[in-house]
Amino acid sequence: MWADKRVGGELFKHLIQSQKQRKKRYGSKDKRAQIKNRIRIDERPAIVEQKARIGDWAIDTVIGQNHQGALVTVVDRVSKLTLIKNVDSKHADVVTEATDLHHE
C-alpha cells in the first residue's frame, strides 16, 4: 500500500492509520490531568520532615504488571498506618477519588 503512495496512487488513503493526525507536544505545557490541591515535596512544611506529629500522609501508586490496574497507598509518616485501595487506572481523577479519606 505504501509503495502505491510513493508512485502517486490513492490506495494508501484507505488504510486505518492514514487518517490519524498527530500533534507534537514540544513547546507547550502538559495539559494532562493533575491531582488537585497537591503540594510538591519541596513545598511542604519543615515539621513534616521531623515526623513529630500524626496526620502527615505520604501517598504513592503501585502500577500492576503490564500496566493493568494500580494500587494507591496512603501511609501516615509517624504511625505507619497504611491504607491501600485497588484502582482500575492511574489517572489523576481516579487516584484523587481513592485518596479522599472523608468518604471511606
Rg, the chain, Cα only = 23
> Are 74 and 82 in contact, with CB atoms under 8 Å apart?
yes
Q: Is the pLDDT of residue 97 over 70?
A: yes
| Amino acid identity at 87 | V
Q: What is the pLDDT of residues 11-66, one digit of tens each?
A: 767 776 655 667 777 777 766 667 677 778 888 888 888 888 998 888 899 988 88
pLDDT at 18: 54
Q: By C-alpha distance, which of 90, 49, 84 is closest to 68?
A: 90
- Higher-pLDDT residue of 69 and 24 is 69
Q: What is the pLDDT of residues 73-95, one digit of tens each?
A: 999 999 999 999 999 888 888 88
pTM listed for this prediction: 0.56
